[in-house]
Amino acid sequence: MADKAVLGLDIGTSRIKFVEARGGRSGPVVTNVGMGMTPRDTIANGVIVDPDTLGAAVRQLLAEYGVRTRSVVSSVASQSSLVVRPIEVPRMTRSELTETMQWEVDRHIPFAASEVVMSFEPLIPPEELPEEAQNMEVLLAVAQEDMVDAHVQTLFNAGLDPAALDVEPLSASRSLIDIVGEQGAYDRTYALLNIGANTTDLSIFRPGGLLSFTRPIPIAGDTVTNAVAEALGYEFHEAERAKIEEGRVYSEGAPALAASAGGEPQPPPEVAPAPPPDEQGEGEERVFDLGAETGPQQPPAEKPPPTTLPAVHAPTAGSSERQVYDAMLPTLVELVTEVRRSLEYYTNRFPDSSVDRILLYGGTTRLGSFPEFLANEVGMEVEVGDPFQYVAVDEASVPAEMFRDNACFMPIVVGLAIRDMID
């Protein structure tokens, strides 16, 4: 008999994503995947402010995809109302820990402790710690109660039956990191980088998939869109269209993008902003064809001359692509600088555990050539995370574009749906 189906649901600032999975004999099987737009102004700074409108939108999205499953695991993001943090405490038993955590909370949260929901888990169970260990690490998650209530209310409004509320990086790690170790992931340190609309979330996982560092960065896709809107005098939606259809970034030097799980040489660290984009015909950059839907808008006169080289390199001076590029660049440089600084901080703090590679996900992953840009600017291998790598997909019922082109949106929802189907 087929196991009960579960929905993983991620209600983001810009898009609602879901995955439906069933527990199969040889592991979970993904049976449905979908995405729709989040109604504007229903989420502010990561917090749901309009559960009625949002609940109705979730309900409608699920109906469009023919979803009948009601049991849902959803997630909340590490933003203003949620803190997810590994902390170190003296070694103690689980019951001592429960008591200690009540006190620890105050020291770690930036908001009033009176109305919070808290959860914690030792990274390594006390009974499995090495004998000589004096301290232990505990993963602490504290959320404002109002935020959690609004989230649960939204799920009810959508007609769903909430089974659990998880935190985003842990959910994503379940689908992106093969902690079973069959493919060598067990010994690696990964930086998961989720670049969404409102927030970028950097989470570092030590060997064995242990979350050991988190840092939300308040620069993401919407920041880029706002920069385009401001520079070009566009409304938000026009700037969003320009960014998606024409936006691509460019930086000099060999990209360190990892095509697959195989190791590739790293370029020297490079932090300079992108070079003047007039130099054509000598880079090795590859460009994603994001203009596929409508094609990039370029005045005919500005089209680059026909060339036998792949059409990669900086946008032509004066083209609208170039204007979008110029508008986006300072924000993107700021973003990758923050990422690089956090990685450097981590390396200084934990010299024994340097980050092996970045696993990139979130919608902004699709910004033209962004993964290459990031790899180049941070000087580290970057891989676009594939959440369908370790789970089976029922390809007869899931639209191919959902688990191929849109895979970068799905690591969290896959991890949520399979949460109770894996160990």
Ligand X SMILES: Nc1ncnc2c1ncn2[C@@H]1O[C@H](COP(=O)(O)OP(=O)(O)OP(=O)(O)O)[C@@H](O)[C@H]1O
Site residues, ligand X (CB under 6 A): 12-15, 77, 196-199, 220-222, 225, 240, 243-244, 247, 290, 362-364, 366-367, 409
Rounded to a whole number of angstroms, the minimum distance from the CB of residue 207 to ligand X is 27
Cα separation of 16 and 32, whole Å?
Answer: 14
Rounded to a whole number of angstroms, the minimum distance from the CB of residue 133 to ligand X is 36
Rounded to a whole number of angstroms, the minimum distance from the CB of residue 12 to Mg ion is 4
Question: Do residues 225 and 243 touch, judged by C-beta distance below 8 A?
Answer: yes
Task: Please report, for residues 122, 142, 345, 364, the alpha-carbon distance to residue 88 in angstroms, rounded to integers and kept in the order given.
Answer: 10, 16, 17, 33
Cα separation of 50 and 47, whole Å?
Answer: 9
Residue 367 contacts which entry, ligand X, Mg ion, none (Cβ below 5-8 A, type-dependent): ligand X
Pick the binder of Mg ion from 55, 122, 196, 368 (CB under 5 A): 196
Structure tokens at 210: 């242990």
Rounded to a whole number of angstroms, the minimum distance from the CB of residue 148 to Mg ion is 17
* 3-state SS track over 338-402: HHHHHHHHHHHHCCCCCCCEEEEECHHHHCECHHHHHHHHHCCCEEECCCCCCCEECCCCCCHHH
When the beta carbons of 12 and 371 are compared against Mg ion, the nearer one is 12
Residue 363 contacts which entry, Mg ion, ligand X, none (Cβ below 5-8 A, type-dependent): ligand X
- Give Cα 345 distance to the centre of its chain: 20
When the beta carbons of 13 and 319 are compared against ligand X, the nearer one is 13
Cα separation of 398 and 23, whole Å?
Answer: 16
Rounded to a whole number of angstroms, the minimum distance from the CB of residue 15 to Mg ion is 8
Residue 185 contacts which entry, ligand X, Mg ion, none (Cβ below 5-8 A, type-dependent): none
Cα separation of 137 and 208, whole Å?
Answer: 14
When the beta carbons of 77 and 329 are compared against Mg ion, the nearer one is 77
Rounded to a whole number of angstroms, the minimum distance from the CB of residue 137 to ligand X is 26
When the beta carbons of 24 and 399 are compared against ligand X, the nearer one is 399
Question: Do residues 192 and 359 touch, judged by C-beta distance below 8 A?
Answer: yes
Residue 30 contacts which entry, ligand X, Mg ion, none (Cβ below 5-8 A, type-dependent): none
DSSP designation for 103: H
Rounded to a whole number of angstroms, the minimum distance from the CB of residue 11 to ligand X is 8
Residue 198 contacts which entry, Mg ion, ligand X, none (Cβ below 5-8 A, type-dependent): ligand X
When the beta carbons of 189 and 376 are compared against ligand X, the nearer one is 376
Residue 342 contacts which entry, Mg ion, ligand X, none (Cβ below 5-8 A, type-dependent): none
- Residue 12 interacts with Mg ion (CB under 5 A): yes or no: yes
When the beta carbons of 101 and 410 are compared against Mg ion, the nearer one is 410
Burial (Cβ within 10 Å: 0-12, 13-18, ≥19) of residue 194: buried
When the beta carbons of 8 and 12 are compared against Mg ion, the nearer one is 12
* Three-state secondary structure call for residue 408: helix
Amino acid at position 200, single letter: T
Rounded to a whole number of angstroms, the minimum distance from the CB of residue 104 to ligand X is 27
Residue 199 contacts which entry, ligand X, Mg ion, none (Cβ below 5-8 A, type-dependent): ligand X
When the beta carbons of 248 and 419 are compared against ligand X, the nearer one is 248
- Give Cα 206 distance to the centre of its chain: 18
Cα separation of 211 and 191, whole Å?
Answer: 10
Residue 242 contacts which entry, Mg ion, ligand X, none (Cβ below 5-8 A, type-dependent): none
Question: Do residues 399 and 186 touch, judged by C-beta distance below 8 A?
Answer: no
Rounded to a whole number of angstroms, the minimum distance from the CB of residue 355 to ligand X is 22
When the beta carbons of 36 and 304 are compared against Mg ion, the nearer one is 36
When the beta carbons of 189 and 223 are compared against ligand X, the nearer one is 223
Rounded to a whole number of angstroms, the minimum distance from the CB of residue 111 to ligand X is 19
Burial (Cβ within 10 Å: 0-12, 13-18, ≥19) of residue 23: middle
Q: Which stretch binds Mg ion (CB under 5 A): 12-20, 171-179, 182-190, 256-264?
A: 12-20
Give the count of beta carbons closer than 10 Å to the beta carbon of residue 330.
13
- Residue that the structure tokens 């979970």 belong to: 28
Could you say which residues in the range 72-101 bind Mg ion, by CB under 5 A?
A: none
Q: Which stretch binds Mg ion (CB under 5 A): 4-12, 46-54, 179-187, 324-332?
A: 4-12
CA terminus-to-terminus distance, the chain = 20
Positions that interact with Mg ion (CB under 5 A): 12, 196
